[in-house]
Chain A
Amino acid sequence: MAREIDIKKGLDWTTVWIYIILLMIGLANIYAAVYNVDNPKPIYSLDHNAGKQIMFMVLAFVLIMIILFIDYKVYDTFAYIFYGVWMLVLVLTIFIAPDIKGSHSWLRFGGFQFQPAELAKTITLLALAKYLSTQGVTMSKFNNLVKACMIIFLPPVIIILQKETGSALAFAAFIIILYREGLPGVYPALFLAFVALFVLGLVFEDQLWIVILGLALLAVLFWYLFLKRYERNRQNMQRVIGLFILFSAFVLAVDFAFNNVFAPHQQNRIRVLVNPDVDPLGAGWNIRNSKLAIGSGGFLGKGYLQGTQTKFDFVPEQSTDFIFCTVGEEWGFLGVFVVIGLYFILITRIYNLAEKQKFKFARIYGYGVASILFFHLLINIGMTIGLIPIIGIPLPFMSYGGSSLLSFTILLFIFLKLDAHRSYKV
């Protein structure tokens, strides 16, 4: 009895309320996305996604109760075991899962299906948090860094084998945790540099020499403007030239890989970013229509259920990956701003709570939760407004889908459970 009262007291209700509000906004928009003017069905009808989402919400509530009831130490103690078991499940999925549009990532149980890749993020985060909170493990040690990276990158490799590249990309969010936990700044800097080079390589796809020339110019400028006279020694010269060669090689390799490794549809998904006319009916279609949906909403939107762009698969995957468009079209800029605002509050609150954790495990886990949420938000909204290629990952709590809703719920509420017990452990 005492524990339950404590949970109620210790639970961060602000986060819980934001969670509930996002869920409700999501449901309202899923309904709008599947709403058929000619043949309206009630929101709870199981014939369409909205009704099913309500069912998933009920399931999520049950899961929340279970998470809050289970002892908080379980997550710390069994993190590696969860991890091991789940990796097995992921590998098995490749072989058991039926082929759905080329991807082998869905497990079927009777009438339901579940995507283990979604929950893999939570489980990896638990394992990573446990490892990083181990006494003596620090990111400045290369050995430890390699081990952490192995924990992080094993699941996405398996997930890529399932042909679910989108979900695998979400694991990049863990770089933020590593950085926070002391990863030398040069790694994220290199990562960002490579991303920038990748984009530049695309923009100047047919004139790669411009990028190489730019890099050379940058190297020369760096040598003369940023290095003091006494730093211009042989060793630094070698470093600068080495970096120049590394970056140039990367640009050329990316170009080669892009044209020879990626499938044409994947190439187009990326190319449309710099030129939406590349594939106007394929990848460009999604981006253009989602932009149109958001753009046509105006400041106040067209009104609930009044959208025309976001209905009937005009934008494919309307109720899942492109749910943000519906918000934009029907609720306008105001709706978009409210949703982004809610996410901003949620994520910063989780970061804040994480910083307050006295125990490293909880702190790292919290940081991971916020980072994963942020990463999803960035990729998902980024893709609907054409900042990022179309990567099929859901908008946390709002997108239709049982796997993602339940996985994000577990992710968040494990943290809330850990946080509720923050005051206990002194």
Chain B
Amino acid sequence: MAAPSKIKDTFIQRSWKVWAGLLVLSLLIVYKIVRFQTTEKEELMSQVRDTQMKERVIEAKRGNIYASDGVSILATSTPEYKMVLDPTVARPELFKNQISRLSEKLAAYFKDNSAAAYKEKIVNARHAGLRYMVLNNKRLTYKEKAELETFPLFDIGPARGGGFFEEKEIRFHPYHSLAERTIGNLDKKDIRKGATGLEAEFDTYLKGVDGKGFYERLPGGYMKPVDLESDIASTPGLDVVTTLDVNFQDIAESALRAQVSKTQARYGSVVLMETETGEVKAIANLTRHTDADGQVYFSDDINYAVTGGTDPGSTFKLVQAAIGLGDGVITTSTSLSGNSKFSMHSAGETANLLMAIMKSSNPYFDNVLRRILHNDPKTGRAIPVDEGMKLWDEQIMRFGFGRQLGIDLPYETKGLIPTPERYDKIYGKKQWKYSTIYSISIGEGEYGVNVLKLANMASVFANRGYWITPHIVRSTGLDVSKGKNTPTEITKTNIDKRHFEEVVRGMEMVVQSGTGRAAQISGVDVCGKTGTSQNAKGKDHAIFIAFAPKHNPKIAIAVVVENGTFGGRASAPIAGLLMEKYLKGSHNREAYKESIMNTRYTTVAGGKSPREVEE
């Protein structure tokens, strides 16, 4: 019997071993759970908080863009609301009582759906357990929201009724399309980022610094923003005060619109700037469109003023005159006789410099540039044209051509100027001479000049030889002592002041009795120059630059009307009107007023801006 009992012992032993194993594993589990409650508890709890709380961005309020008075708001952020309902929140009897009334009120308010349709939509959503539904896609203002808050289920708070309003900041332009392109727009995808114009250039100032907060995870995984002490508040963006004047901007745009319309031009652009400060008071770009129904409308979507580039045309003759005088290749009394290349001009035009400017003599300035390019101003010796052009390039760059002026708007173009390198490339090294390129003498050829440069050129003559960096932002932040302040950088031309006086006399004559008579202002000496930039594809571009008054000038202007034919007719009236308004505070040119304001152009129905129509 020894053997069986031994076997039995073994079995009992094994039974105990199984027992012991069971006990050990159970204790291991208990041990682990006890650890959860004790040593590991802190770590676990912090992890719970991590999963319960999710970081959220507290969005900074974007700064406003103001006009030069620091009061008129050109762009600001305002909240917009959407009406949202969590249809599962309301208790059954409450829901039953209110749903019909709510649907009726919604139908009466939005008028896009019947009460029955609203009711069906909401009831279905509730049935499906949908926790979020936008009742109507209409963007609501604060005032509209206040009214809708009295609706059933919205009047008892989101916790009981389930109704709430989703807020979104949008950019609002109180003056609608005024200076639209200059102010710029926000990025379409990232609506918190500036994409064009001042919104883009001053984005770093405007956007502010976002704060940090938390969402709390509610049962069901819904995230609810919570206010905590640990929240990092956002810093609102700085306001940007521009130099733009709402009135001038408005007149500039309407006058330009009238002219563009009247001349059937493709686009027009105006830059109005203060000569003493470089502040841009108005900057307008209008493109004319004709829609499918033949209706004409305008848009301000391309910033020709700083990004475009055309020939400066005859206005460039002023620069040639100043350089010619400065280099000593001509004097005011120099008479340069005709050249068969320009057949259209009579002998009288070439009697002296002032006559040449007034009559915009092509042969005269052809000769002037020939002299400039073949003359070394230091020694007075004759030099090859490419060397002379290098020196000439240096001089015209001091007038702001072929370089960025440094305006505080994005995408400013450098522009083009004729250079020996360029001609070497076109014709081969040294394979060209002055007679190959003579058209640049009258501002046509290898130029790329935007309207801002033209206004700046007018400013150079107004200041008799220097310009101040044009700018459009006076300060960031309403407190002018902070942030970016007015730049006062001065660029000099190195040409003697008296030579400018001489050219300015010619400019005065242009307006008094020459091609720019349309810019006259009674009691004010206006100095200007017309230009016509030749256009191979169609009507020429009308250019006019001017400043006023002649003594102690205040204001400079450039107007370009593309396909506007002749500068004196299409562009000069706008310049006169704007300068008069600036200098006198009002203008007294009924004729122009009428011709401008009553021009036959069609605004889009309801007086809406093109932008509104687009939307």
Contacts and interface: CB of A to CB of B under 8 A. Distances in A.
Interface of A: 36-39, 176, 179-180, 182, 288-289, 291-292, 294-299, 308-309, 311-312, 314, 328, 332-333, 336-337, 340, 344, 347-348, 351, 355, 374, 378, 381-382, 385-387
B428 interface: no
Contacts of A289: 51
A378 B22 CA distance: 9
Contacts of A308: 52, 217, 219
B88 interface: yes
Given A292-B47, A382-B29, 5 more contacts: A38-B219, A294-B33, A299-B37, A351-B22, A386-B32
Given A289-B51, A308-B219, A312-B221, A295 B44 contact: yes
B14 A295 contact: no
B26 A340 contact: yes
Interface in B26-76: 26, 28-30, 32-34, 36-37, 40-41, 44-45, 47-48, 51-52
Contact of A296 (B18, B30, B45, B129): B45
Provide the main secondary structure of the chain B interface.
helix
Contacts of B52: 308
B45 A295 contact: yes
Contact of B28 (A39, A296, A337, A387): A387
B37 A314 contact: no
Given A39-B88, A312-B220, A374-B22, A381 B47 contact: no
Contact of B15 (A309, A314, A355): A355
Contacts of B15: 180, 351, 355
A295 B219 contact: no
Contacts, number: 89
A355 B19 CA distance: 12
A110 to B, nearest CB: 25
B126 to A, nearest CB: 10
A180 B47 contact: no
Most buried by A among B33, B45, B89: B33
15 contacts: A179-B14, A180-B14, A180-B18, A294-B33, A295-B41, A295-B44, A311-B220, A333-B34, A340-B26, A351-B22, A374-B22, A385-B29, A385-B36, A387-B28, A387-B29
Interface of B: 10-11, 14-15, 17-19, 22, 25-26, 28-30, 32-34, 36-37, 40-41, 44-45, 47-48, 51-52, 88-89, 129, 217, 219-221
Contact of A291 (B25, B36, B129, B217): B36
B33 A38 contact: no
Contacts of A309: 48, 51
A325 to B, nearest CB: 11
Most buried by A among B26, B41, B44, B52: B26
Contact of B32 (A38, A288, A348, A385): A385
B107 to A, nearest CB: 27
A36 B220 contact: yes
A298 B45 CA distance: 10
A378 B25 contact: yes
A180 B19 CA distance: 11
A64 B29 CA distance: 31
Contact of A312 (B17, B30, B33, B219): B219
Contacts of A299: 37
Contacts of A291: 36, 44
A295 B34 CA distance: 9
Nearest to A309: B48
B219 A311 contact: yes
A337 B30 contact: yes
A38 B22 CA distance: 43
A227 B51 CA distance: 55
B221 A333 contact: no
A336 B10 CA distance: 35
A29 to B, nearest CB: 16
A35 to B, nearest CB: 9
Contacts of A296: 44-45, 48
Contacts of B11: 180, 182
Contacts of A36: 219-220
A391 to B, nearest CB: 15
Given A344-B26, A378-B25, A38 B34 contact: no
A309 B50 CA distance: 12
A420 B34 CA distance: 38
Contacts of A387: 28-29, 32
Contacts of A332: 37
B51 to A, nearest CB: 7
A43 B24 CA distance: 37
Contacts of B129: 39
A292 B129 CA distance: 28
Nearest to B36: A295
B513 to A, nearest CB: 82
A37 B26 CA distance: 35
Contact of A294 (B17, B36, B47, B89): B36
A36 B18 CA distance: 43
A295 B47 CA distance: 10
Nearest to A371: B18
B37 A347 contact: no
Contacts of A336: 33
Contacts of B47: 288, 292
B219 A37 contact: yes
Most buried by B among A38, A297, A328: A38
A72 B220 CA distance: 49
A38 B29 contact: no
A38 B10 CA distance: 60
Contacts of B219: 36-38, 308, 311-312
B212 to A, nearest CB: 22
Contacts of B10: 182
A348 B22 contact: yes
Contacts of A292: 44, 47-48, 51
Task: Give the top 4 A-B pairs by smallest Cβ distance, nearest first.
Answer: A295-B44, A295-B36, A312-B220, A385-B32
B566 to A, nearest CB: 71
A374 B22 CA distance: 8
Contacts of B37: 295, 297-299, 332-333
A36 B219 CA distance: 8
Given A180-B11, A340-B30, A351 B19 contact: yes
A382 B26 CA distance: 10
B469 to A, nearest CB: 54
Contacts of A312: 219-221
B123 to A, nearest CB: 15
A387 B29 CA distance: 8
Contacts of B45: 295-296
Contacts of B89: 38
A38 B26 contact: no
Contacts of A374: 22
Contacts of B19: 348, 351
Nearest to B216: A308
